[in-house]
Amino acid sequence: MILGTIRGRIIANSAVVLVVMAVACLYTGLASSELARSVELLFRNNLVMEELSKTLDSTEASLSSYLMTKSSDSLKDYIRESTRLAESARKLNRSIKDDEVLLLQRDISGLVVDYLSDAEACVAAKRGRDIPAYTQRFQESERTAELIRFLTSRLEGLFLADSVVAFSSFDRQIGRVIATNAALVIAAALMGLMLLVRFSYTLTGPLSRLAEAARAIGRGEYDHELPALDSADEVGTMAAAFSSMQESVKRAFAELKSKSEVEKRLMEERMRGLDMEHKLKDAELLALQTQINPHFLFNTLQAGMQLSMVEGADRTTDFLEKLAGFIRYALKPPSRSVLVSDEIECVARYIWLLKLRFGERFDFSLEADDAVLGVETPALLLQPLVENSVGHGLKDREGGGRVEVSARVSEDGLSALLTVADTGVGMEASEVERLLREGDDDEDLADRGIGLRNVIRRVKLATRGRGAVELESRPGEGTTVRIRLPMETHR
């Protein structure tokens, strides 16, 4: 069943090509491994003999150095090299076998033992200051070393001859292996090429016709005639599915067009609703904006009248000018943004009026960085907070208190940070949480005045959620309100 599909035919033919390739690679790998193993053994034996010769030379050199200088370093070198020489000798054959190479290894192993024995006796005689004894032993060890070198050279000659023979055999066989492998690879490549040409015609022809139909439908020609394909494989199934999809696209396009008209009408109605909601919010904020504490206006005007009776007209003029400027600023439309510099100027007027009313009872501080003066902000944010600090935080403090107002860039450099802090009575954590929660609530805002909750609400609306109001307070330790505004706000 699977052979009747395109996938089945591709898998079957590909499997034949892969089997031929696998046989070629396996044959090459096994033949090369067998040939390399035989050569590797010979070269390994050569390395063993070379190592033994070098160790023998090092041992002789360290022994001669010790006999001449009798230094402890030379003795240490001799002990180390003689140990390595003994280990190299143990790697050689020590049994009697009918093989010239193995017999030579056995002889060399025995001579190494004799050499080490003479060398040890020579060292002992040197320590005992027995000059004739260590001279004799040294000469015997030298003769033994020369004999070891002779046998080693002979053994290396045998290894070299065997290596040449093995390499010649390897060279002859590797050519045959490469030729056989090349023939198998070429056969697999030709077979794969034939299969590729065959399937390119049987598979790409119907697919090209389907692709052309798909491009026509993509251009909007939904009535384009599809090619007739009667094959039972995946291409025929895809053609039938494409025809069904064409009909579905026609129906879906008609339904989409109908829905788009309905959605367009709904969107227009929604935009009208949003416009109305925006106007309602502006009206609400305008009403809230104008709710300035009447007690403050009354008390301030009364202080102004008393001042005008006691003093001359100059200071009264200054007072009335600042009061008029403050009221004019407070009655600006709430939908309009102002600069932080305008807010700072408004707070400065308000503080002047408060000092006129309360004298030196309260201490005020006003600082602003030049970097934030050009940042846009909703109007009348700082003055309600200063009013809260004086009217709620400090009113019960007999000794007065301090209110600090600042405008600076935040530590991360992304926000303008407006801060109003007082040394008043403070609040409990539950009250802080309630104020912040009510400030985020959109309902029943008209009855809450123009204080902290209204500030939170207007910052949220004006900055589209990018601004924030933070509140910190503890009983007896005062209250700090921070307003974070984006460095770039839009009107």
The mean pLDDT of 47-64, rounded to a whole number, is 84
Whether the pLDDT of residue 482 is over 90: the answer is yes
Residue 450 has φ and ψ, to the nearest 5°, of -110, 20
| Most confident by average pLDDT, 79-88, 121-130, 477-486 | 477-486
Largest CA distance in the chain: 141
Q: Out of 175-179, 283-287, 332-336, 392-396, pick the least confident.
A: 283-287
Spatial neighbors of 345 by CB under 8 A, at least 6 apart, are 329
What DSSP character marks residue 408?
Answer: E
What is the structure's pLDDT at 177? Answer: 73
What is the structure's pLDDT at 260? Answer: 82
Q: Greater confidence, 405 or 194?
A: 405
Q: Contact 383/333 with Cβ under 8 angstroms?
A: no
Q: How confident is the model at residue 309 (pLDDT cuts 50, 70, 90)?
A: low
**CA angle 20-26-29, nearest 5°?**
140
What is the structure's pLDDT at 153? Answer: 84
Average pLDDT, the chain: 77
Whether the pLDDT of residue 76 is over 70: the answer is yes
What is the structure's pLDDT at 339? Answer: 93
Q: Greater confidence, 205 or 334?
A: 205
Burial class (CB in 10 A: 0-12, 13-18, 19+), 456: buried
Q: Out of 37-41, 50-54, 380-384, 476-480, pick the least confident.
A: 37-41
Measure Cα distances from 363 to 143, 304, 394, 417 in Å: 110, 21, 11, 22
What is the structure's pLDDT at 342? Answer: 92
d(CA 295, CA 302) in angstroms, rounded, equals 10
Phi-psi region of 377 (alpha: psi -120 to 50; beta: other; left: phi over 0): beta
d(CA 414, CA 486) in angstroms, rounded, equals 7
Measure Cα distances from 402 to 152, 200, 253, 345, 417 in Å: 103, 89, 70, 19, 20
Q: Greater confidence, 323 or 478?
A: 478
Q: Greater confidence, 72 or 335?
A: 72
What is the structure's pLDDT at 304? Answer: 66
The mean pLDDT of 52-74, rounded to a whole number, is 84
What is the structure's pLDDT at 407? Answer: 96
Q: Contact 408/340 with Cβ under 8 angstroms?
A: no
Q: Where do the H-state alpha helices sit in 70-130?
A: 72-90, 100-127
> pTM for this one?
0.42
Q: How confident is the model at residue 300 (pLDDT cuts 50, 70, 90)?
A: low
Q: How confident is the model at residue 71 (pLDDT cuts 50, 70, 90)?
A: confident
What is the structure's pLDDT at 446? Answer: 39
Q: Quick one: angle between helices 294-310 and 313-330, nearest 10?
A: 160
Whether the pLDDT of residue 280 is over 60: the answer is no
E-strand stretches of 285-341:
337-339
Q: At 399, is the secondary structure helix, strand, or coil?
A: coil
Q: At 485, is the secondary structure helix, strand, or coil?
A: strand
What is the structure's pLDDT at 343? Answer: 92
The mean pLDDT of 77-87, rounded to a whole number, is 87
What is the structure's pLDDT at 444? Answer: 44
Q: Out of 38-47, 65-74, 102-111, 252-261, pick the least confident.
A: 38-47
What DSSP character marks residue 179?
Answer: H
Whether the pLDDT of residue 450 is over 60: the answer is no
Whether the pLDDT of residue 470 is over 80: the answer is yes
Q: Greater confidence, 200 or 359?
A: 359
d(CA 490, CA 376) in angstroms, rounded, equals 8
| Most confident by average pLDDT, 27-36, 43-52, 246-255, 432-441 | 432-441
To which residue do tokens 């400030």 refer?
Answer: 439
Q: Greater confidence, 428 or 256?
A: 428
To which residue do tokens 């933070």 refer?
Answer: 470
Q: Out of 132-141, 223-232, 376-385, 387-396, pick the least confident.
A: 223-232
The percent of residues above 90 in pLDDT, for the chain, comes to 16
What is the structure's pLDDT at 370? Answer: 94
Q: At 60, is the secondary structure helix, strand, or coil?
A: helix
d(CA 485, CA 469) in angstroms, rounded, equals 9
Structure token pair of residue 274: 């949003």
Q: Give pLDDT tens digits for 150-196.
A: 888 888 777 777 766 666 766 677 777 777 778 877 887 887 778 77
